[in-house]
Structure 1
Amino acid sequence: MHILAVDDDEPVRELLASYLAAEGYRVSTAPDTATAKQCLGGDPIDLVVCDLRLPDGDGLGLVRQIRAESHIPVIILSSKDQDIDRIVGLELGADDYLTKPFNPRELLARIKAVLRRASGEARPARNAEDLRAVVQFASWELDLTAQRLRGQDGRDVELTRAEFGLLSAFVKRPQRVLTRDQLLDLTRADGTEVFDRSIDVLILRLRRKIEANPKEPRIIKTERGAGYVFDAKVRAV
C-alpha cells in the first residue's frame, strides 16, 4: 500500500515516513499542495494523510480536489483550534481525522480501518435474502446490493461507503429513534466503521443528498436529546 503524507512540518513527515515504513507501507511525503499534486499524478496512491495548514494553500482545497477526481481515502490531521475546518473536511468527503499532537499507533489503526473500508474487506458476506435487495423511500430508490441511490428522475447519487452504511441502517429501521451509539453499532455490524465524532457530519451529508430542503429535513429528523429517526415509509421492490 502506498501512502502519501502531506504536512509542512518536517519532523512530522519524518515520523510518518519512518513509522509507516516500519509497518510495511510505502510512503511518499509532501511539504505543500504543489508537491502533493505531483505525487498524486505519479505512482498510484492508496491513501492520503493530509494536514490542513499548508504553506501554499489549505489542505481543504487538496481534499476537495482529491474527492472530485478520485476515491482515494483521506485522513485529515488538524490542530485543536481547527474544529470548523475539520468538520468542513469531513463534509467534503474526508474519511476520518486525527487531532495533533497524535499517537502514531492510533493513526496506524485509523489507516488500517479506512483501507479496510476502501477495499471492502470489512464487509461481511451477504445472506441469500439480501441479494437483489432494493427499497424505495420518499422519491428515492436504494439498491442495497449494488450500493446505489437513484432518484425518481433516474439520476444516480454517489454515496461514500460511510454514507451508504448509515443510510442502509436507517432504511432497515424506519420510524424508530436511533441513538448515536446505536448507529455506530449498526454501521459497524454492516462492515462500515464510523466514528462517533463523524455521525452528525454524515447526517448532514446525507440530508444534502436526499432532502428537498436540508435545513428542514423531512426524512432524517432529529429527536432532541435522543438521536435521529428515519421518518419515511420504506417498501421493498
Structure 2
Amino acid sequence: MTPPLILVAEVHPELRASVVQSLQDSGFRAHIIEDVPAMWRAMETLSPRALVLDTALRGPGGMDLCQEVRQRSNLPVILVGANSSEVDRIVGLELGADDYLSKPYAPRELVARLRAVLRRGTHGGPDDAVGAPRRQQARFDGWTVDFTRHEVRDSAGAPVELTGAEFALLTAMMEQAQRVIARERLVDVSNGRSAQSSDRSIDVLVSRLRRKLTQPGRVAPIVTVRGVGYMFSAAVEYR
C-alpha cells in the first residue's frame, strides 16, 4: 500500500526539514510546497491526504489562504502559525482548518495531530467496532448522512460540504442524540486529543456545524446546555 502523501507548506527551512523527516519516519510521504502556485498544482495533481499550511506562505496576513483551500477542497488542513494567540487559533478554525498548531511546535506533535485528523476523515460511523455491523446511513429532520461516502445531504437532497472535523463531530453527536454531551467528551471524540482549558476549538466546530445544518425556517438541532456542553435534539434513524 502506498503511504499517504502529505503536502508540507512550512516556510521555515529547518523546521520544514524536521517535519518532512518526522513524517517519513512515521510512514508518510511528504511533498514540500514553497509557494502558493505550487500548492494549488500539488492539490490538483498529486492526490494528497492532508496539507500542513503555514499562515506565512502568502506573507503577513496570509491566514485567509486556508479559507481559499477550504472553498476549493475538503482536503484536511493543519494550520501552523508564528506568534499565535487564542484568537488566531479560533480564526484559523473558523476559516476551515481542521486543527491549528502554534510555532514553535514539535514535529512529533504535528504527526500525532495529523493522524487524528486522518482518523476523523475515515470515521466509519456508529458501531464501527470490530465485529459490529456497520451502519451505512442515518436520517434526522430530513437530513441524510452517508457514512460510507462521507456525505451529508439536506432535505432537498443537496450536498452540504463538511470538513473531516465537522463530520466527526456530527457523527459523535448523532450517536448520543437527545442526550446532553459534556464539552470535554466532544473534544475527545472530535479532536482525538486533549485541549487546553483556554482552547475553544470545540465551540468553534459546533458553531461551524450549526451554521451548515441551518435551513430556511428551521434551526439546526444542536442545543447549547450552559455550563455542561451540547445536545443533538433531533431523533436519529439509522439504516
Distance 1:37 1:202 in 2: 26
Q: Distance in 2 between matches of 1:68 and 1:58?
A: 18
Where structure 2 has 5 or more consecutive residues not aligned to the other structure, the ranges are none
Partner of 1:136: 140
Match of 1:176 in 2: 179
User: Residues of 1 paired with 2:149 and 2:41: CA distance?
Assistant: 34
Unaligned runs of at least 5 residues, structure 1: none
The TM-score normalised by the length of structure 2 is 0.76
Match for residue 223 of structure 1?
Answer: 225
1:80–1:143 distance in 2 versus 1, CA, 3 Å: same
Deviation at 1:10, TM superposition (A): 2.1
Distance 1:41 1:133, change over 3 A: closer
**What is the aligned residue count?**
230
Contact residue 79 and residue 100 of structure 1 kept, 8 A: yes
Does the 8 A contact of 1:33 with 1:56 survive in 2?
no
1:1-237 map, 5 Å: 1-56=4-59, 58-119=61-122, 124=129, 127-128=132-133, 131=135, 133-137=137-141, 139-143=142-146, 147-185=150-188, 187=189, 193=192, 196=195, 197=199, 198-212=201-215, 219-234=221-236
Provide closer, same or farther for how the CA distance between residues 150 and 73 of structure 1 changes in structure 2, counting only shifts above 3 A.
Answer: closer
Tell me the secondary structure at the aligned position of residue 135 of structure 1. strand
Residue-by-residue CA offset, 1:204-233 (whole Å, 9 max, x unaligned): 1111111248xx966212122111122334
70 and 227 in structure 1: CA distance in 2 versus 1, 3 angstrom threshold: same
Equivalent AA in structure 2 for residue 154 of structure 1:
G
Residues 172/60 of structure 1: CA separation in 2 closer, same or farther (3 Å cut): same
Separation in structure 2 between the aligned mates of residue 121 and residue 150 of structure 1, nearest angstrom: 17
SS at match of 1:65: helix
Instruction: Give the 3-state SS of the residue equivalent to 1:108 in structure 2.
Output: helix
Report the TM-score, using the length of structure 1 for normalisation: 0.77
Between the aligned partners of 1:40 and 1:136, the Cα distance in structure 2 is 34
Cα 1:194/1:167, change in 2 over 3 Å: farther
Q: Tell me how far apart the structure 2 counterparts of residues 195 and 204 of structure 1 sit (CA, whole Å).
A: 19
RMSD of aligned Cα (Å): 3.4
Give the distance between the partners of 2:28 and 2:151, measured in 1 at CA.
32
